[in-house]
């Protein structure tokens, strides 16, 4: 959304602003997730004026599809490999130990969440024939149970709070 303001500032020379889509059209919706990216395909065109047309680019593709087709990423990695520096480069820039520390928790999130990005990853792994470990599925089940327990507790507290307010106001 902020990028649109720059395009409008420079509108005399821009004409069109294509904002890299955060989300696929399939997952675009109004809901209570708090994620404004889910609204990008709907909201960005509303920021258009007669001077600048604003649109969401590549909303027809999932994040996984966009990542796989990222020519810049592939080009950079191939260049490093051809130069013989891929192994030197990766450990310094991409901290594998950090990834490894968080990997299992993230996999549990992927398997237990209904978020569009996690759904895309699950779909992609299925398409690739990749299988989750039993421990991954167990962690996901535990995570789901914890999340549901928190949601239930919040609902009960809200009801209790309303019930308590009603009983105080009737006295």
Give the pLDDT of residue 11: 67
Q: Please give the C-alpha separations between residue 141 and each of 33, 101, 116, 123, 152, in angstroms, as whole numbers.
A: 21, 20, 19, 18, 16
Does residue 117 sit in helix, strand or coil?
A: helix
| Range 12-30 average pLDDT | 75
Higher pLDDT, 3 or 104: 104
Do the Cβ atoms of 17 and 55 come closer than 8 Å?
A: yes
Does residue 168 have a pLDDT over 60?
A: no
How far apart (Å, rounded) are the C-alpha atoms in residues 63 and 25? 11
Higher pLDDT, 16 or 166: 16
Give the pLDDT of residue 92: 46
How far apart (Å, rounded) are the C-alpha atoms in residues 123 and 136? 16
Give the pLDDT of residue 149: 94
How far apart (Å, rounded) are the C-alpha atoms in residues 98 and 12? 45
Do the Cβ atoms of 77 and 40 come closer than 8 Å?
A: no
Non-local CB neighbours of 3 within 8 Å, separated by 6+ positions = 17, 19
Tens of pLDDT along 53-99? 888 877 777 766 766 666 565 556 555 656 666 667 665 444 445 56
Give the pLDDT of residue 4: 73
Tens of pLDDT along 109-155? 889 988 887 888 888 888 888 888 999 999 999 999 999 999 999 99
Non-local CB neighbours of 40 within 8 Å, separated by 6+ positions = 19, 21, 22, 23, 28, 56, 59
Give the pLDDT of residue 93: 47
How is the chain split into domains, by residue range? Answer: 1-61, 62-91, 95-171
Which candidate, 12, 90, 103, places its Cα nearest to that of 51? Answer: 12
Give the pLDDT of residue 102: 74
Higher pLDDT, 42 or 91: 42
Does residue 6 have a pLDDT over 90?
A: no
How far apart (Å, rounded) are the C-alpha atoms in residues 84 and 69? 23
């Amino acid at each position: 959304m902020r990028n649109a303001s720059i395009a409008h500032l420079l509108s005399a020379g821009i004409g069109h602003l294509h904002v890299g889509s955060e989300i696929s059209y399939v997952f675009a919706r109004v809901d209570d997730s708090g994620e404004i990216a889910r609204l990008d395909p709907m909201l960005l065109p509303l920021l258009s004026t007669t001077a600048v047309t604003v649109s969401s680019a590549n909303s027809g593709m999932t994040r996984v599809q966009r990542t796989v087709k990222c020519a810049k990423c592939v080009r950079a990695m191939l260049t490093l490999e051809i130069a013989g520096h891929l192994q030197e480069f990766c450990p310094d820039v991409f901290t594998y130990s950090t990834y490894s520390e968080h990997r299992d928790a993230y996999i549990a999130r992927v398997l237990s969440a209904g978020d569009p990005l996690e759904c895309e990853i699950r779909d992609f792994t299925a398409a690739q024939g990749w299988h989750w470990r039993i421990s991954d599925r167990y962690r996901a089940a535990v995570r789901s149970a914890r999340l549901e327990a928190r949601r239930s507790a919040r609902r009960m507290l809200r009801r209790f709070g309303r019930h308590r307010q009603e009983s105080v106001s009737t006295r």
